[in-house]
Structure formats: structure tokens, C-alpha cells
Structure 1
Amino acid sequence: MTAYDDLTALFINTSLKRSSEPSHTQALMDVAIAIMAKQGVRTSTIRAADLDIPPGVQPDMTEHGWDTDGWPAVQAQVMAADILVIGTPIWLGDKSSICTRVIERLYSWSGKLNDRDQSAYYGRVGGCIVTGNEDGIKHCAMNILYSLQHLGYVIPPQADAGWIGEAGPGPSYGDDGKVGLDNDFTQRNTTFMAWNLMHLARLLKDAGGVPAHGNQRTAWDRGERFDHPNPEYR
């Protein structure tokens, strides 16, 4: 059987609640965490609301007028992880404001390169967990997964999972210790997501990442065009 015990996964929960309060999003993320942990994947979780993360698209916002910035420590964990899963609640049909900020700060590293002259995020896989009691799972997932692949993450098939209750005020995932836990669609998708993230992370790690040809930034800047068909652009 394939081994996954040399992989690491980071889960960033962008709930509006700090870790002193229960999080419905965390309850569903914990399902994926348990599956990965059983395979020996080293998992860790960050509750973004616990941290002082200022807005901006620079790696360290203390260099741009802010007194403190909790993001550089998070970024170090991001770069140490083979798998990144972002969890968010749904508010007004969209991801949380904290989720938007996390993605903005991930973007702050978009100009950095790995030792193969590719985006620093190449060779990693991403997924997302979405919870709420209003419509918007697929909308949030499209936004988050597009953002991650744009930065350089590889997105496996079925890399999103979520749960929504009845539209309008009502119970959220995990309420009363049972809401949504018996929803086959949610539990199936969460399981498939966890395994597909592990499978693709395994493939990428064994392959040494994404092949380094046709995607090297400084080579393009030097004039290499990787078979680009327009001779006037060479």
C-alpha cells in the first residue's frame, strides 16, 4: 500500500471565530484531518482569527507601516507543507473576509521562485472545506481553488467539500453533535478530497515536483520562449 507518512498538511481555518469558540468549519475539517492522520500525514491547523494578520500583498507588512504581522510565521508553515487546505464559512454567499485576507497574503509570495526557477508554490497541492447554512459552497470553492492554482498549487480532482443546512437561520455543521455528520454527500466528498490530496501530493513528491520546462520565469526574462509560435515575439 502507498505510504503517506512523509507528507505534511496544513489546514487554515478562516472562521470569524477565534479558537476559544467552537467552529463548524473546523468540525468538518477535522474529518479530513483524521483521514490524513490515520495515514501518517503530519497535520497542523491554524485558526487565522487568532492572529494579527494585516491586509496587504507583501510578505511582511511591518516593513510597510504595520506594527505587527502574524503572517510570516504562517507563510513558513505554508512553505513546509505538501498539502494546503483552506476552510471557510459562507457569509452573504461568499467566503469569509478572513479567507480573502489569507489568500491575499498567500499572494504576497507569488513573485518568489523555488530552486528550479518556478513559482515557489509549485509541487504542492491545495483543497478547500466550506460550511454554512446558506447557498454558496461551489461559488466559494471555485474562488479559493482558482486562487490557489493561480499561485502555483496543483488542484486534484474533487478537491472541495462542504455542508450547508436549510437556507436561512438554522443549525450548522456539527450542532448538537450530529447535524450533517450523517450526510452521505458531505462525508463522501470530504473523504474523496482527503485521499485525492494525499494521492496527488505523493505523485508530485515522488516526481520531484512539476517538470521544470516551459514554466521558468527568469529563463523567459532572458528571452527563452519555449516553442512559442509567434516569431515576432522572440
Structure 2
Amino acid sequence: MKLSSYQEKLNKENKTDFSDLKAVFINCTLKKSPEKSHTSGLISMSAEIMEENGVHVDIIRAVDHKIAFGVYPDMTEYGWEKDDWPAIQKKIMEADILVIGTPIWLGEKSSIATQVIERLYGFSGETNEHGQYAYYGRVGGCLVTGNEDGIKHVSMNVLYSLQHLGYVIPPQADAGWIGEAGPGKSYMDKGSGGPENEFTNRNTTFMTWNLMHMAKILKAHNGVPAYGNQRTEWDASSHKDHPNPEYR
């Protein structure tokens, strides 16, 4: 993806060192490689900005992997013969930034995006070294493409899910492009106007820089302060005035 002159200017004049950050983009297209993914086109803009500022970037096309259904960290322990998710989860846990990219189908995120979020949820009960939930201290964003309305609806769902799991969502952490409703041109099609769209390019740029800024702030402060939000401390407390009722 060719960046605009202003995007390149921002990269060139940036004074912040982001080289200690890692980012993972998960492309939730329904198309297996090497078929063209329009979502990958928008992802590439954000990824290129990050890479030009020293961020280590991994882009994962989820549909190219054998990801089992379920909400546990490793579904081979629950009857599945193959599950590539644990290796993907490892990359996610090593990253400071997670961006989920998805097309819109029937007004919703793709089925692959739903599966990815379910698998992320399967790890959400784990805790970090501070006793907080495992995703604390990381930031999340969302990119959306399609030929029907729904960017904001899809983003609300994805970003809500990520913050519920423990991710920090910075300002304006979503961006997207939708073409003419119906079977018209898609983002990467010649003449679509997608890669040149001012609104999409601005929002994608703002999202990318906000993700890097917030991730840098969290890293500098060793994540979210560990007080009042530690699962391990809560479970160890003997001062539960209102325990869950027993079911009989």
C-alpha cells in the first residue's frame, strides 16, 4: 500500500521510538491465500505505518490455519485432532497491539472474526504476573471493509469484545471502507476509490498512531496499575460479604 505524502511526512518527522513494540493483525477474510483479500489492503496501510516507525508486525490470515471451534486455549484437549490456535495465541500474547480486520457480511463481522474472538475469549481467564487478566496492558483496534453498511456496528462489537477481555481501546481505534451497496467494486478493485478515500485514510492513520501511542504509554508504565483489578487477590480474599448463592 503506497502511503500518501502526509503519511510519509508523519513517519519521517516522528520523534518517538516505537521499536520496542510488537503488533499482530488478524485478517478475518473468508478467502484463503493466495486469493485477493480486500481487507488485507486496508490492513497493509496501517501495518506499513507501524513498520516504518520500527514496530515489529505479524499479519495472520486466520482462514489459512486449522483453527478449532471452542472457547478453551487448546481444543486438542477437547477432542479436536488439530488446532493451530495455540501458536497464534502465543504471538498475540507477545504483542503489544492487536488489530482485527474483517469484511462485512449481512451487516455483521465475518464468521472467522467471530471464531477468532471466541478463541481469544478462551484465554481470557488466564492471569498475568500481577494477578490481572492476561490481556491487560495491551491495546486493540479494528479495520473493516465491505460493500454494505455496517462499519460502526461491526467496530462496536469487535472493540467491545476486546475491551471486555482486558484490552485498552485508545481514541478512534477503528477505521473502514465500504463501497457502493451491492455487487459493486471492493476496496482493492481498480477504480474503487478505496485506497484514495480521504475519510478512510485519515481514520486509518489516526487509529494506527493512537494504537502506537497508547501501547508505548502502557509499556512505559508496566501496563495497567495492578490495584483493585487483580483476580488472584480477589479469589484469595476472605472478606466476601456477598458470596455467590449456592444452588440447590
Which of the five TM-score ranges fits, normalised by the shorter chain? over 0.9
- Deviation at residue 177 of structure 1 after TM alignment: 6.5
| Mapped pair 1:218 → 2:232 | yes
- Deviation at residue 166 of structure 1 after TM alignment: 1.0
* Contact kept? 1:123, 1:208, Cα under 8 Å: yes
Give the CA RMSD over aligned residues. 1.4
Report sequence identity in percent: 64
* Contact kept? 2:22, 2:57, Cα under 8 Å: yes
Mapped partners of 1:147, 1:102: distance in 2 = 11
Q: Partner residue of 1:83?
A: 97
Mapped partners of 2:242, 2:120: distance in 1 = 32
Q: Partner residue of 1:28?
A: 42
The count of aligned residue pairs is 229
* Contact kept? 2:140, 2:162, Cα under 8 Å: yes
State TM-score, norm by structure 1.
0.95
Which residue of the other structure, out of 145, 148, 171, is the alignment partner of 1:131?
Answer: 145
Which ranges in structure 1 are unaligned for 5 or more consecutive residues? 226-230
Mapped partners of 1:163, 1:184: distance in 2 = 10
Q: Partner residue of 1:228?
A: none
Tell me the alpha carbon deviations over residues 60-114 of structure 1, each in whole angstroms, 9 at most, x when there is no partner.
Answer: 1111001100100000000010000000000000000000000000001011000
Which ranges in structure 2 are unaligned for 5 or more consecutive residues? 1-14, 244-248
- Deviation at residue 2 of structure 1 after TM alignment: 1.3
* Contact kept? 1:18, 1:50, Cα under 8 Å: yes
Q: Residues 115, 224 of structure 1: CA spacing in aligned structure 2 closer, same or farther, 3 A cutoff?
A: farther
Q: Partner residue of 1:181?
A: 195
Structure 1 stretches of 4+ moved >3 Å: 231-234
Mapped partners of 1:111, 1:221: distance in 2 = 13
Q: What amino acid does structure 2 have at the position aligned with 1:188?
A: R
Tell me the alpha carbon deviations over residues 109-161 of structure 1, each in whole angstroms, 9 at most, x when there is no partner.
Answer: 01100000001100000001000010010011000000000000000000000
Q: Partner residue of 1:202?
A: 216
State TM-score, norm by structure 2.
0.90
* Contact kept? 2:186, 2:192, Cα under 8 Å: no
- Deviation at residue 232 of structure 1 after TM alignment: 4.5
| 3-state secondary structure, aligned to 1:176 | coil
Q: Partner residue of 1:58?
A: 72
Q: Residues 210, 10 of structure 1: CA spacing in aligned structure 2 closer, same or farther, 3 A cutoff?
A: same
- Deviation at residue 233 of structure 1 after TM alignment: 3.7
- Deviation at residue 36 of structure 1 after TM alignment: 0.5
* Contact kept? 1:161, 1:193, Cα under 8 Å: yes
Mapped partners of 1:161, 1:59: distance in 2 = 29
Structure-to-structure mapping, 1:92-103, within 5 angstroms: 92-103=106-117
Mapped partners of 2:51, 2:230: distance in 1 = 34
Q: Partner residue of 1:172?
A: 186
* Contact kept? 2:179, 2:192, Cα under 8 Å: no
Mapped partners of 1:103, 1:58: distance in 2 = 12
* Contact kept? 1:135, 1:167, Cα under 8 Å: yes
| Mapped pair 1:156 → 2:184 | no
Mapped partners of 2:178, 2:238: distance in 1 = 48
| Mapped pair 1:112 → 2:126 | yes
* Contact kept? 1:172, 1:179, Cα under 8 Å: no
Q: Residues 176, 131 of structure 1: CA spacing in aligned structure 2 closer, same or farther, 3 A cutoff?
A: same
| 3-state secondary structure, aligned to 1:175 | coil
- Deviation at residue 18 of structure 1 after TM alignment: 1.0
